[in-house]
Amino acid sequence: MQLLRVVGFINGNMLLLSATIGAGIFVTPKGVLIYSSLNIPVCLSIWVLGGLLSMMNALCLAELATTFPVSGVSYYFLKRTLGSSAAFLSLWIKLFVHLLGIGAQSLLIASYLIQPFYSGCPAPELPKKCLALAALWSFGILSGWSMKTVVHAQTISSLMKIAILCLISITGIILLVTGKNENVSRFENILDAELPDASQFAEAFLQVYYSYLGSSLLINIAGEIKSPSNTIPKSLMSGLSIVILMYLLTNISYLTVLTPQEIISSDSIAVTWMNRVFPSAQWALSLGISASLMNTISCGIISASRVFYCASQDGNLPFIYSMLNEHHSPVVAVFLIVILSSISIITSNLIYLVKYMGLGSWCINLMNMIGLLKMRYQKPDLPRPYKVWLPFVFGTLALSVFLIFTPMIQSPNIEHVYQVAFLLCGLLCYWLQTHLKRHAVCFDKITYYCQLFFNVSPSENQDKLINF
């Protein structure tokens, strides 16, 4: 029993587009504009720069995924370069990053579906939460099925997302080119706007980075990709190039139709845009956005479950999470993610959730780059099917340090104390699970019952699948 390699180049691009184009482009423009001090050129530059730097970071991680082509490769790599404590800390961060991300995606989908019923006022929280939970569990069940089924669903979702963003982008370009006074005037004197400081720039970039988080999906499912040494780098470069272009044109369209003040006061930017341009078709756009975003939940569940799968094989999580069903899917890990994500669907400010997810991801990136440099120095002869340009590694390392520490130095506040406490809690949990592992015999019966209930079997260890 092992995960099957069923994802090729085309499917890899579709998965990448489906995972990356999600809640970010419909949520983060508000936060990016706020932290850019309403400076339009800076805002658009951050979107492009964020995409290019995310591609640079993804190509660095591609070296790990092609050298060790296993699912959950980041955890696998950190354990073998920086030790079990660093690997567990990355698992601790990813646990909350994925759970908050999946919860935010579910709430956003529910918001877009239910908002047309409450025109002119915010939708109530209770029906929004119920709808979010229904979407989460539906796609949790889909993710526990075979990977082939998920890939087919993601292809349809990717085409729908591209169609929606093309509609928004082309409409905005037409309005801008036709030269209507109310549209063109919004771009006059834009160079006179206030410039953000370093800490604001870092916060804005953390917002943008959330919109590109899906690029890590191909890294996390490296054990299910055909010819990973060729497919992963090519898919990252082609897929992310399309995403960067689409994001830039979509933001230009937002700014063409809406003023910066209208954008930062809107909770559903695309719906506000639609009310202004095609007021009679609001229902169509809301349903289209919701349908296209739904499979992003499935991508998040798949990515998180593969990290749990790898950690379970290494003994940092119960063994049951690495067992596979008859469709070669870690179904127990999938349902754990769904249950924990259900808990995370609470009343929250999405801007602050986005900031914490981006910050946690950059902490993991920092550890990955340190491990990559250590591996380059200690094992220079290790076979590397794809070897990233070394300045990219140093660039990602410097960027990670800047984004993590600049806000703390420029504008320290109590939130930074909470973030440090969160990391220390991860190390404490690592010590506790190491201690409790000695007394894990009492949990064997629970494992047996879960194995029978989910009809799963132990999988082959991923170490045997790598040719060093």
End-to-end CA distance of the chain: 21
pTM for this one? Answer: 0.85
What is the percentage of the chain residues whose pLDDT exceeds 70?
Answer: 88
pLDDT value of position 352: 54
pLDDT value of position 141: 86
pLDDT value of position 198: 80
C-alpha to C-alpha distances, 78 to 91, 232, 321, 370, nearest whole angstrom: 10, 20, 19, 9
Q: What is the mean pLDDT of the chain?
A: 82
- Structure letter (DSSP) for residue 68: S
Does the pLDDT at position 349 exceed 60?
A: no
One-letter amino acid for residue 75 of the chain: Y
Segment 94-103 mean pLDDT? 81
The residue with greater pLDDT, 231 or 274, is 231
Give the torsion sign (CA, 465, 141, 214, 433). Answer: negative
Task: State which of 100-114, 147-161, 327-341 shows the largest mean pLDDT.
Answer: 327-341
Reported confidence tier of residue 437, pLDDT bands at 50, 70, 90:
low
Q: Identify which of 70, 120, 411, 82 has the alpha carbon closest to the alpha carbon of residue 232.
A: 70
Helix axes 282-313, 84-114, angle to 10 degrees: 160
Reported confidence tier of residue 319, pLDDT bands at 50, 70, 90:
confident
Does the pLDDT at position 468 exceed 60?
A: no
pLDDT value of position 237: 93
Structural domain count of the chain? 1
Task: State which of 123-137, 186-200, 235-249, 329-343 shows the largest mean pLDDT.
Answer: 235-249
Does the pLDDT at position 273 exceed 60?
A: yes
How does pLDDT run across 195-234, given as a tens digit for each residue?
Answer: 888 888 888 887 888 788 777 888 888 888 989 989 999 9
Question: Which residues form the domain of 281?
Answer: 9-465
Does the pLDDT at position 323 exceed 50?
A: yes
Does the pLDDT at position 438 exceed 60?
A: no
pLDDT value of position 443: 66
* CB-CB neighbours of 168 under 10 Å: 25
Residues 77 and 254: beta-carbon distance below 8 Å = no
Dihedral angle, C-alpha 121, 126, 132, 136, nearest 10 °: 180
pLDDT value of position 394: 94
Helix axes 40-67, 73-81, angle to 10 degrees: 70
> Does residue 57 lie within any of the structural domains?
yes
Dist CA 448 CA 465 (whole Å):
26
Reported confidence tier of residue 464, pLDDT bands at 50, 70, 90:
low
Classify residue 230 by burial, with Cβ atoms within 10 Å: 0-12, 13-18, 19+: middle
Q: Which of 348-357, 417-426, 434-443 has the lowest mean pLDDT?
A: 348-357
Does the pLDDT at position 48 exceed 80?
A: yes
pLDDT value of position 277: 84
Reported confidence tier of residue 120, pLDDT bands at 50, 70, 90:
low
pLDDT value of position 240: 93
How does pLDDT run across 276-312, given as a tens digit for each residue?
Answer: 888 777 677 777 777 767 778 888 888 888 888 888 8
pLDDT value of position 442: 61
pLDDT value of position 248: 93
> Does residue 2 lie within any of the structural domains?
no
Host H or E run for residue 412: none
> Does residue 4 lie within any of the structural domains?
no
Q: What is the DSSP string of 289-316?
A: HHHHHHHHHHHHHHHHHHHHHHHHHTTS
The residue with greater pLDDT, 366 or 416, is 366
> Does residue 36 lie within any of the structural domains?
yes
Segment 139-157 mean pLDDT? 80
> Does residue 3 lie within any of the structural domains?
no
CATH number at residue 236: 1.20.1740.10
Dihedral angle, C-alpha 361, 366, 372, 374, nearest 10 °: -150
